[in-house]
Amino acid sequence: MNRRTLGTSLGVSAQGLGCMGMSQSYGEADLAESEATLLKALDLGITFFDTADAYGAGHNEELVGRVLKPHRDRIQLATKFAIVPGKDGKLMGVQCDPAYVKQACEASLTRLGLDHIDLYYMHRLDPNVPIEDTVGAMSELVSEGKVKHLGLCEISSKTIRRAHAVHPITAVQSEYSLWTREVEEHVLPVCGELGIGFVPFSPLGRGFLTGALSKDDLGKGDMRTMLPRFSDENFDTNRALVSAVEELAAGKGVKAGQIALAWVMAKSDGIVPIPGTKRRKYLEENAEADAIDLTTDDLAKLDAIFGGGAVTGERYPQAIMDTVEKD
């Protein structure tokens, strides 16, 4: 696995591993396979691991920390704070006041079993707290040695600028893939201007862009059943777009998902995608995308397939979209 740099100094593997699905959102968990997948990632040269305090209500941090702690000198670990359970136990609230920032960091360090976090993200913006106050508290964690680098998630370019003025931001994380392109207009240019790395989550469109997903695969406990792009009215239209990717992939002797990942990675050396999986089989497939070189013509074809409003359906229901800060 090649290496890339986020920001000015955080060296990571060219792909990371999104760990959320090991604890929630994509059907039943398989603890043994999840543990094996984490260790297999190291064998493949993947050293950048992404979790959050909200994933599995802390379970994901405990899992990732327990398995990877013996390999601490080889890994770069990212986690997040801000999303907290709502009063009804279902809705999610956001809290980013300075006292909570420090409280959340201490709790994450305890669950992880580590003495510092390599990259600490604000998971969502708290509309009731100025970003300067939140990042100010995060910067104090850096001064205390509990955090090495700071990041922001699902944020606007204007807020990125304000945050970066308080303390250097190393990475911005948001959804980005062939079928989710909003960050291209404002966020990616600002990251490039300020020397901030970009970390796309769901670069495979939550599995849709692999072409291997059918409607029957979405069972109980799978969050995709509530996402508009996976609904009965949109699934087949979007699936036709993936068929065009499969055709291009077949000509190169690779898979559609590998092409989708290679497309993201080709956009900039400062981009480090974190495809999520809880299975070694898919982890190995994803890692192979690091060796795929797409031509200028390939990139243009892929852009054309998904351009012009070809994708149908929002990426989230409105309640969740409302938590994503937009330019």
**Could you give the strand order of the β-sheet that contains 197-201, starting from the edge strand earlier in sequence?**
16-18, 48-50, 76-81, 117-122, 147-153, 171-175, 197-201
Among the listed residues 25, 24, 60, the one whose alpha carbon sits nearest the alpha carbon of residue 218 = 25
Quote the CA–CA distance of 102 and 141 in Å, as a whole number. Answer: 7
79 contacts 52 by C-beta, under 8 angstroms: yes
Which residues are catalytic, by number? 55
149's CB contacts (< 8 A; 6+ apart) are 6, 7, 9, 10, 118, 119, 120, 142, 170, 171
246's CB contacts (< 8 A; 6+ apart) are 211, 255, 256
Residue 273 Cα to chain centre, angstroms: 7
Among the listed residues 166, 165, 163, 123, the one whose alpha carbon sits nearest the alpha carbon of residue 143 = 166
Q: What phi and psi, each to the nearest 5 degrees, are found at residue 83?
A: -85, 125
